[in-house]
Structure 1
Amino acid sequence: YAAYTGYVREARLRESHGPHWWDEFTRRSAYEVEARRAKVAEMKLKEIVHQAQGKLDILDHLMREHRHRQMLIFTAHNRFAYRIARRYLVPVITHQTKAAERKAILDEFRAGTYEVIVTSKVLNEGVDVPEAKVAVVLGGSASAREYVQRLGRVLRKKGNAQATLFEVIARKTVDERIAQRRRPK
């Protein structure tokens, strides 16, 4: 964390590039050794936060509380999605999932055979899953669009059913700042 924040502070990116400081940081990480080191540190930090054990404890509770309701679980990283899939023995869909397998999993979900699917970012857009009544967001980007797309997965109207979205955030971490940036002003 210190490598990341130290670089951003010393390079004065926020002062010199204003709201576009992140783009400049990312650009510099392609050719500056220190910027690259800071970028790697920032990525590791986000991965640790997005995979916090506390998030799994809350997921345990939510899965018990909402059992028998179809649920989509969203993560920021494939590694965490696979970890959850192994822990709960539920299907996982990532960018590595072949189209035929993805279709089969979604068909089984729609049929009610599967009550839970875990995914990283693949189901953010373009997939209609009106059967999903609960979504749990365990990690994501600061993009308001991504958040709205994920919310849209469970808000598809099917009869009079209600849908619920839970966003699990690790307090006093980069997770909290990411969630705040996504919120409307």
Structure 2
Amino acid sequence: MKLTNTFFTLALASMTFGFVGCKDAGTNVETSPPPATVDAHDDHEGHAHPSEGPHHGGLIELGNEEYHAELVHDEATGSVTIYVLNAAATEQVPIEGSDITINVKHDGKPEQFKLTASPDASDPQGKSSRFVSTDAELGEHLDEEGAEPRLVLTINGKSFRGTIAHDHDHEDHDHK
């Protein structure tokens, strides 16, 4: 009987430890850490981040660097373009879907903007690596204090969210 009680106590203790140790596992699978910005020149976890995307836009980290997105804001036309990129942020990745979303806060209220698929010539039929919004209001909100813009999209059936750090002075490429 003493052996059974000892076994039961050890089993219960290991289950309790397992539950406590695993409490937070998987809670932020879809949320990405703060993004690399245009001025980021750091070495993160053993590999260097590019300072900008292939189209000279700011980078948005998706997942645990599974993918990146690049935001290009043309202030002259008011358009915002998002390019979906690979983990190294060097090549475009075509995805399924007719649009992606940017969520922002404006005057303390949430607003949502859809960017429509605008496939590059090299994108396969039915997929797009480029998404565009011509809504000038989106570009204005990206620059507002407290807007907290976040990109939301699905890649291969998995939802990703990435924080957008938009640098208003991105056109001069003045890297300090």
Provide the TM-score with structure 1 as the length reference.
0.23
Relative to its length, the structure with more helix (as a share) is: 1
Relative to its length, the structure with more strand (as a share) is: 2
Based on CA coordinates, which of the two structures has the bigger radius of gyration? 2
Provide the TM-score with structure 2 as the length reference.
0.24
